[in-house]
A and B are shown apart, each in its own frame.
Chain A
Amino acid sequence: MATKQTNSLARLMMAPSVILLLVWMVVPLAFTLWFSFQQYNPLNPIRDGFVGFSNYLLFFNNPAFIASIINTLLLVVSVLLITVIGGILLALLLDQPMWGQGFVRILVISPFFVMPPVAALVWKNMLMHPGYGVFADMARFFGLQPIDWFAQYPLFSIILIVAWQWLPFATLILLTSLQSLDGEQKEAAEMDGAGVLSRFCYLTLPHLARAITVVVLIQTIFLLSIYAEILVTTNGGPGYASTNLPFLVYQKALLEFKIGQASAGGIIAVILANIVAFFVMRYAGRNLDR
């Protein structure tokens, strides 16, 4: 029943958001695309100019690039596996009747609200420090050699920290979904003599499918751009052992001033994110139709 007047008013109300986001998306990205075909170094302006695809070739031929792609994927997939499987188990546990459920929930969700630098530094220093950390104290208590986590298993250490940050998110979403499962259905299945395992496989898991998809998609967006956790712990090292794609691009751009290569890396990151975004959008779009 919208009149012409309300329609144009509606357009006016949407304009600021649309224009801002359009500018924010198009202008910097256009710059990056342009830079990715340029030789550009702010410290050495003499050799600037168009260089075709050579930045991309340089980036691809850099051993750090392959390492960073592998690390990025390892980081994303490992954290997803830990948080989704751990999240399902934890959600099933928290869904049981118990005393103090509200308080348990508060404890479990808390790590999600801890800012990344705090999470990473607390784990690095107070838990995983080879000399004074809690893990080292525990190892010595059991008569074992303390592990120098960030020197021996740099990427795994970061995976552990990031999984700790995101496990609460997965748990919370899955628990919310679990609580919307029809109790009568569960009882009916129980009366029909369905065992715990078959009830989980044929009733609970299909019900959770939607929430699991959401968890995987949302987390992937954030996990593809992990940055602060690496910066304050390993700084990408030793070597490139814990460098992911965002961190490599940051190093190229702001530490080495190889703007062309950094921009090529940025465009590759965009392509990677777009593959994920495609699935997110399809999912969100379907959800909007209901």
Chain B
Amino acid sequence: MARAVTTRHRTIATVAAWIVALLIFFPILYTIITSFKSEAEAIQGFSLIPSGTIESYAEVEAQRGYFHFFLNSVILSVGSTVLALIIAVPAAWAMAFSPTRRTKDVLMWMLSTKMMPAVAVLFPIYLIFRNLGLLDSRIGITVMLMLINLPIVVWMLYTYFREIPGEILEAARMDGASLWGEIIYVLTPMAIPGIASTMLLNIILAWNEAFWTLRLTTANAAPLTAFISSFSSPEGLFWAKLSAASTLAIAPILIMGWFSQRQLVRGLTFGAVK
């Protein structure tokens, strides 16, 4: 009897969950569908079956130079993440393996910098960037994205490093390993998964950052966030092109995101929910 109830229960849950999930996913699905329509088709009314043309994709590149912005997104998100890791790995390392009384305070203070609203420093940053000639430069935005994500990178790495058992360190020390030897040969292999997860989450966050990338770039260093925003000007209805550009802009991150669900929970809750 219990078996029958379970199957019925499972069927109802499956149907309900699929309906809700498809509703939530619908805007993305419809964007992908519309990207394979022509501009005329796109505004002809609701239709889930596109003609399958790829002219929008071709035009987005030919008319608006899509690839330039895509390349900028890749450079900025990967560059800022790598830069953040280079700076954060030693810090998180030190805090996890040689903690002092002040380690906790330092961590908390780092987190607090993440809570400063961007608008509060909009004009000073704009001014500093202008005077240093960094406006619309890839280097400037890379540093900016690195700074806003640095606290999360340190925190995430710290929570991963802390789980590496200290006994291994002691064993290595007994065998006469130097500190650098310890780090390079013993701990790094164990830390790679944590570093990889941190990297993944931060590429996603940097890719989608839409305040500084919009305000500090115009053309040369503008990533996809700025490119897509340019579609908001009411110069006509280019929905098929908007859809094609959007699909290309979210596809790589969507796929990365699907693989990083666990890390996302962990990274964005500072290890509070695992």
A in complex with B? yes
A interface residue numbers (CB < 8 A to B): 1-2, 6-7, 9-11, 13-14, 16-18, 20-21, 24-25, 27-29, 31-32, 35, 90, 93-94, 96-101, 104-119, 121-127, 131-132, 134, 137-138, 164, 167-169, 172-173, 176-177, 180, 210-211, 214, 218, 221, 224-225, 227-228, 231-233, 245-246, 249-250, 253-254, 259, 262-263, 265-267, 269-270, 272-274, 276-277, 280-281, 283-285, 287-288
Of the candidates B117, B204, B270, the one whose C-beta lies within 8 Å of that of A266 is B117
Determine whether the beta carbon of B261 is less than 8 Å from that of A173.
no
Determine whether the beta carbon of A121 is less than 8 Å from that of B95.
no
Determine whether the beta carbon of B119 is less than 8 Å from that of A245.
yes
* 27 A-B pairs with C-beta separation under 8 A: A7-B98, A7-B100, A9-B179, A10-B95, A13-B94, A14-B90, A28-B120, A32-B120, A35-B124, A97-B9, A97-B13, A101-B17, A111-B28, A115-B225, A115-B228, A118-B250, A122-B30, A123-B27, A172-B261, A173-B269, A214-B273, A224-B117, A232-B232, A246-B119, A280-B111, A287-B272, A288-B108
Q: How far is the CA of A123 from the CA of B232 in the complex (A)?
A: 12
Question: Which 5 A-B residue pairs are closest in the complex by CB-CB distance?
Answer: A31-B124, A28-B121, A13-B90, A96-B13, A113-B257
Determine whether the beta carbon of A169 is less than 8 Å from that of B261.
no
| Segment at the interface with A among B50-58, B59-67, B186-194, B209-217 | B209-217
CB distance from B102 to the nearest CB of A (A): 10
Q: How far is the CA of A132 from the CA of B20 in the complex (A)?
A: 24
In the complex where A113-B254, A214-B273 touch, is A121 in contact with B232 (Cβ < 8 A)? Answer: yes
Which A residues are CB-close (under 8 A) to B139?
A: none
Q: How far is the CA of A228 from the CA of B128 in the complex (A)?
A: 22
CB distance from A73 to the nearest CB of B (A): 14
Q: B226's closest neighbor in chain A, by CB?
A: A117
Determine whether the beta carbon of B27 is less than 8 Å from that of A287.
no
Q: How far is the CA of A116 from the CA of B243 in the complex (A)?
A: 14
- Band of interface residues on B: 35 or more
Determine whether the beta carbon of A110 is less than 8 Å from that of B25.
yes
Query: Is B22 in contact with chain A by the CB < 8 A criterion?
Result: yes
Q: A172's closest neighbor in chain B, by CB?
A: B265
Determine whether the beta carbon of A29 is less than 8 Å from that of B116.
yes
Which A residues are CB-close (under 8 A) to B249?
A: 115, 118
Determine whether the beta carbon of B27 is less than 8 Å from that of A25.
no
Which A residues are CB-close (under 8 A) to B75?
A: none
Q: How far is the CA of A280 from the CA of B110 in the complex (A)?
A: 13
Determine whether the beta carbon of A250 is less than 8 Å from that of B113.
no
Q: How far is the CA of A105 from the CA of B237 in the complex (A)?
A: 33
Which A residues are CB-close (under 8 A) to B13?
A: 93, 96-98
Which B residues are CB-close (under 8 A) to A20?
A: 87, 147, 150
Residue from A20, A177, A180 whose CB has the most chain B CB atoms within 10 Å: A20
Q: B207's closest neighbor in chain A, by CB?
A: A115
Determine whether the beta carbon of B120 is less than 8 Å from that of A266.
yes
CB distance from B123 to the nearest CB of A (A): 5
Q: How far is the CA of A24 from the CA of B110 in the complex (A)?
A: 11
Query: Is B160 in contact with chain A by the CB < 8 A criterion?
Result: no
Known: A116-B208, A211-B273, A270-B120. 20 other contacts (CB 8 A): A14-B90, A20-B147, A20-B150, A21-B151, A109-B257, A114-B208, A118-B250, A121-B228, A126-B27, A138-B46, A210-B272, A221-B114, A231-B214, A246-B117, A249-B119, A249-B122, A250-B215, A253-B123, A269-B117, A284-B270
Q: How far is the CA of A28 from the CA of B119 in the complex (A)?
A: 11
Q: B233's closest neighbor in chain A, by CB?
A: A232
Which B residues are CB-close (under 8 A) to A233?
A: 232
Determine whether the beta carbon of A176 is less than 8 Å from that of B273.
yes
Which A residues are CB-close (under 8 A) to B120?
A: 28-29, 32, 249, 266-267, 269-270, 273
Query: Is B74 in contact with chain A by the CB < 8 A criterion?
Result: no
Q: How far is the CA of A35 from the CA of B95 in the complex (A)?
A: 37
Residue from A117, A173, A177 whose CB has the most chain B CB atoms within 10 Å: A117
In the complex where A14-B94, A126-B30 touch, is A115 in contact with B124 (Cβ < 8 A)? Answer: no
Query: Is B71 in contact with chain A by the CB < 8 A criterion?
Result: no
Q: A267's closest neighbor in chain B, by CB?
A: B120
Which A residues are CB-close (under 8 A) to B17?
A: 93-94, 96, 98, 101, 104
Q: How far is the CA of A104 from the CA of B151 in the complex (A)?
A: 32
Q: How far is the CA of A284 from the CA of B110 in the complex (A)?
A: 12
Determine whether the beta carbon of B271 is less than 8 Å from that of A134.
no
Which A residues are CB-close (under 8 A) to B253?
A: 113, 115
CB distance from A251 to the nearest CB of B (A): 10
Query: Is B72 in contact with chain A by the CB < 8 A criterion?
Result: no
Q: How far is the CA of A249 from the CA of B134 in the complex (A)?
A: 22
Which B residues are CB-close (under 8 A) to A262?
A: 122-123
Query: Is B172 in contact with chain A by the CB < 8 A criterion?
Result: no
Determine whether the beta carbon of B20 is less than 8 Å from that of A93.
yes
Q: How far is the CA of A202 from the CA of B236 in the complex (A)?
A: 55
Query: Is B21 in contact with chain A by the CB < 8 A criterion?
Result: yes
Q: Which of B16-48 contact A (CB under 8 A)?
A: 16-18, 20-22, 24-25, 27-28, 30-31, 34, 43, 45-46
CB distance from B32 to the nearest CB of A (A): 10
Q: B264's closest neighbor in chain A, by CB?
A: A172
